[in-house]
């Protein structure tokens, strides 16, 4: 890879950002990306945050859409930042602020803690989890809503166009966000969403949402690889597609496709290359298929 890749680390108050000693040398961070650690009072844990600014950010006063992507320390995050770097090398940089969120350790356990849906207590209309590392997505949601997003929007020039990109459990979390009363994001990208997890209780959240309204103002792109049969991703994706088509929510722009010959991880780069430029241009996610 040509050019010099530098680490740019924010020096921010210890009260807000903690320290960590994890090795990050295997991650691609270019000169437009700031990396820091953020502690959440809601989750009671720290996250690895990567913020990539547009090339012309310091040259003017424009505000930019924000794209939040999950699994910043895994294949998903690395693929996203490689794409950003590719755009810059081609002199077609992305005009959006990208925010990556990663865990430091025990990725399977931490992802299950933060991205899997909780149980619903129908009698008290409350949410709860039975295990320490499973089903705490509400706490992670509050981290985004009350801590990370406010910090980003205080610190950088952002407009009101927010997007979420999640793969596997991150795709499941996209639907969890969608079926909340407030719309935290405008655009949702769910790549190989693990909708079967926790006995498919994501549908309980949809039913809860639908009992209040038949309008869902969101742009949603969902895909699965044609080879994702044994992991139940393909079946679950088709099931959600049919379910949302029957619901026929007003103001929901939903597009689903299956990427031929792709498996659980190999579909990620193809999907990102199609969708990320559109999110930056504030166009509907589904416009690439027209």
Report pLDDT digits (tens) over 102-135: 999 899 999 999 999 999 987 777 898 989 999 9
What's the count of helices (H) and strands (E) in the chain, helices before strands? 9, 11
Task: Please check whether residue 67 lies inside any domain of the structure.
Answer: yes
Domain containing 217: what range? 28-280
Residue 42 and residue 142: Cα distance in Å, rounded?
Answer: 7
In a domain, 288, yes or no: no
Is the pLDDT confidence value at 231 over 80? yes
Kindly report the pTM of this predicted structure: 0.87
116, part of any domain: yes
Residue 163, pLDDT above cutoff 80? yes
3-state helix, strand, coil in the chain (%, to 5): 35, 25, 40
Whether residue 221 lies inside any domain: the answer is: yes
Q: Grade residue 202 by pLDDT with cuts at 50, 70 and 90.
A: very high
**Residue 12 within any structural domain of the chain:** no
Number of domains comprising the chain: 1
Whether the pLDDT of residue 148 is over 70: the answer is yes
If we measure between CA atoms, which residue out of 148, 147, 151, 163 comes closest to residue 64? 163
In a domain, 6, yes or no: no
Residue 18 placed within a domain: no
For residue 87, what is the domain's CATH number?
3.40.50.1820
Q: Is residue 213 part of a domain?
A: yes
pLDDT value of residue 19: 34
Per-residue CA distances from 148 to 99, 117, 152 (Å): 9, 20, 6
């Amino acid at each position: 890879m040509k050019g010099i890749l530098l680490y740019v680390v924010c020096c921010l108050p210890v009260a807000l950002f903690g320290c960590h000693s994890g090795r990050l040398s295997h991650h691609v961070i270019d000169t437009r990306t700031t990396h820091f650690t953020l502690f959440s009072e809601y989750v009671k844990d720290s996250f690895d945050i990567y913020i990539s600014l547009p090339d012309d950010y310091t040259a003017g006063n424009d505000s930019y859409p924000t794209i939040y992507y999950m699994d910043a320390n895994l294949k998903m995050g690395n693929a996203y930042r490689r794409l950003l770097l590719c755009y810059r090398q081609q002199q077609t940089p992305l005009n959006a602020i990208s925010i990556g969120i990663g865990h430091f350790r025990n990725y399977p356990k931490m992802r299950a803690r933060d991205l899997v849906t909780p149980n619903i207590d129908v009698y008290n209309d409350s949410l709860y989890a039975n295990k320490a590392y499973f089903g705490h997505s509400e706490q992670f949601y509050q981290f985004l809503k009350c801590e990370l997003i406010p910090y980003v929007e205080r610190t950088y020039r952002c407009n009101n166009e927010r997007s979420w990109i999640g793969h596997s459990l991150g795709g499941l979390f996209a639907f969890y966000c969608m079926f909340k009363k407030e719309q935290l994001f405008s655009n949702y990208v769910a790549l190989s969403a693990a909708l079967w997890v926790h006995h498919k209780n994501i549908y309980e959240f949809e039913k809860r949402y639908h009992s209040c309204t038949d309008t869902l103002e969101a742009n949603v792109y969902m895909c699965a690889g044609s080879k994702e049969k044994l992991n139940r991703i393909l079946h679950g994706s088709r099931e959600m597609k049919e379910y949302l088509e029957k619901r026929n929510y007003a103001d929901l722009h939903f597009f689903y496709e299956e990427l031929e010959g792709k498996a659980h991880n190999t579909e990620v780069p193809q999907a990102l290359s199609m969708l990320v430029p559109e999110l930056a241009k504030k166009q509907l996610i589904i416009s690439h298929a027209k």
